[in-house]
Structure formats: structure tokens, C-alpha cells
Amino acid sequence: MGRYIAVEPNVKVFVEDIGAGPPVLMLHGWPLNHRMYEYQSSQLPTHGFRCILPDMRGFGLSDHPWHGYHYDRLADDVLTIIRTLGLQRVRLVGFSIGGAIAIRYMNHHQGYGISQLILLDAAAPSLTRRPDFPYGLLPSDVTKLIEQTYQDRPQMLYDFGQRFFASQISPSFREWTQSLGLQASLHGTTAAARTFRDEDLRPDLPHIQKPTWILHGVLDQVALFPLALQLQQGIRGSQLVRFEQSGHAVFYDELELFNRTLLQILQDPDAS
């Protein structure tokens, strides 16, 4: 079942709501939308979980406003979804930029409604290198993505897709993934890219007080694996799960292992 939720007076986001049971709120990555999780949302409800899958503003079926693509506003959108749906004891899952949004949410909203945080190849604590942070991509790498988006967005998506998967995928699956990126607005795509290029989430990490798992592909060429090590160091008590044969698409590269691992984490009695 899908519905629209107003997160601002003139901005609505689309939310898919599947199954019944403990809620699993799944934040998608850039530049995709909630359908990237269909190989999880088709399975988790059979194990008694309710999958709640929003499209971030500017992406998928949500509104495409000109404003609001920084992490503070996107975290506020998550809060509105949780309050509107009356969710409690939420398992919050965030992939790539979705992981970064989840981290900001846990700080700015004190983990309201959340029982468990699961970060998937998160674009955090900083996707790009800084003078005191020698990890991640060069800022110029992301700037090139933004420039190419303005020049030839389909080609940018194709090129980005070459770095996305570590496993062999079918041409049809690659085309489908690219089609999800084309559903986004050009402005939302570039504005969100500026956010993950420029924002630094290191100050947020000590404020995360909920059980946290970090699932990360060792072969990731987007959110490089050293970022996962920095997250583990920065989030007290967090657990890191390495996916040795996965790239950035940790949710698909080792699909059976990933789904089995995710289900085991969701069934952890400390999260119930």
C-alpha cells in the first residue's frame, strides 16, 4: 500500500507500506528510490516484519521541490513519517546517503522511536576527504558527478552504475537500476550530491545511543571501506559486518547472505 505524507506545507513524500509486525523503515540511496529494496521488502514481511519505504524528496514518486536536500531537513522528513504513521520500536535501515540521513536523525531527534540502527555502505561519517580525514573520495570526484549530471544525466547514471556493483549482474538488471535514477529530478540529484560531498557527520556519531550494525562491502568503490571502520570507531558499541565480495550494492551483490544477515539482526531480542 502506498500513500503520500506531507512533510512540509507544499511538499509530500511517497511511502510504500508492506506487511505487518515490527516496523522496518528503509531509507534508500542516491540516486535511487524505495524500489531498490524490493529484494528485501518481498521477503521480510514473510518473517513478520512491516516494511516502510519512503522516497526521499526529489526522488522516485515524491515531490521534487527546489529546497530541502541537506541532512537536517531530510532527517526532519523522517521524523514526520514516523510521527504520522505512529511508529514505535522502529528498526531504521539506511543505505549510502540514506545511512547518512539516519545518522543525522539519530542525533538531531535523539533516536526518537528507534530501537535499532542498521547502516548499509553508509556515505558517512564523511563521504569525501578533509584535511583531518584522509578517507573516502576526493571532493572533486563528486563535483565531476554533479557536472556530468548537468551535461548528460543518463550517461552519468550509466558510469556511476559501473562502480556500483561488484558482482556480475544482467544487462537487464543494470538497466532497471539506471531507470530508478532517472525517476529522480535533476535538481534533487545534484543538490543531494552537494550534500554528501560537503557535510561532515563525525560530530553526530557520539550521540547515537541505540544498538547499531554497520554492514559494508569490502570492495565498495563509492563509500570506501575505511569509512566503515571510522563509523565503528565513532559509534560506541557498534558492530561491523564485512561483506567480502560486495561493492557499494551490499544489498544485492551477496543477496542471500545479506538477506540472511539482515533478518538475523532484525530478530535480535534487544531490538524487540
Residue 90 lies in a domain: yes
Q: What's the CATH code of the domain at 247?
A: 3.40.50.1820
Q: What is the pLDDT of residues 66-125, one digit of tens each?
A: 999 999 999 999 999 999 999 999 999 999 999 999 999 999 999 999 999 999 999 999
In which band, very low, low, confident or very high, does the pLDDT at 171 lie, cut at 50, 70 and 90? Answer: very high
**pLDDT the model gives residue 271:** 66
Residue 99 CA to residue 225 CA, distance in Å, equals 14
pTM reported for the whole predicted model: 0.97
> Mean pLDDT of all residues in the chain?
97
Helix (H, G, I), strand (E, B) or coil at 175: helix
**Considering its fold, how many domains does the chain have in total?**
1
pLDDT digits (tens, 9 = 90+) for 228-272: 999 999 999 999 999 999 999 999 999 999 999 999 999 987 766
Q: What residues act catalytically? A: 96, 220, 248
Host domain of residue 172: 2-267
- Other C-beta atoms closer than 10 Å to the C-beta of 192 total 28
Instruction: For residues 124-135, give the mean pLDDT.
Output: 97
Say if 272 falls within a structural domain. Answer: no
Helix (H) or strand (E) holding 7: strand 2-8
For residue 124, give the nearest of 41, 46, 220, 48 by alpha carbon. Answer: 220
Instruction: Calculate mean pLDDT across residues 9-33.
Output: 97
CA–CA gap between residue 70 and residue 146 (Å, rounded): 16
